[in-house]
Amino acid sequence: MPIRTPGFFHTLACAVFITLCTQLVGCGGFPVQPQVKEEGGVRPESAAGSGAEALRVAQQMLGVPYRNGGAGPAGFDCSGLVAYSYAQTGIALPRTAREQYAHTRPVSIDELRPGDLVFFRLKSSTVSHVGIYQGTRKFIHAPATGKAVMIASLDNRYWRERWVRGGRIPAPSS
Could you say which of 10, 21, 103, 141 is catalytic?
A: 141
- Alpha-carbon distance of 38 to 102, in angstroms, equals 27
- Alpha-carbon distance of 24 to 136, in angstroms, equals 32
Active site residue 103: no
Could you say which of 14, 27, 78, 103 is catalytic?
A: 78
DSSP state string for 79-99: HHHHHHHHHTTT----SSHHH
- Alpha-carbon distance of 23 to 112, in angstroms, equals 29
In degrees, rounded to 5, the angle at the alpha carbon of residue 128 between the alpha carbons of residues 140 and 68 is 70
Most distant CA pair in the chain, distance: 65
Active site residue 10: no
Q: Catalytic amino acids?
A: 78, 129, 141
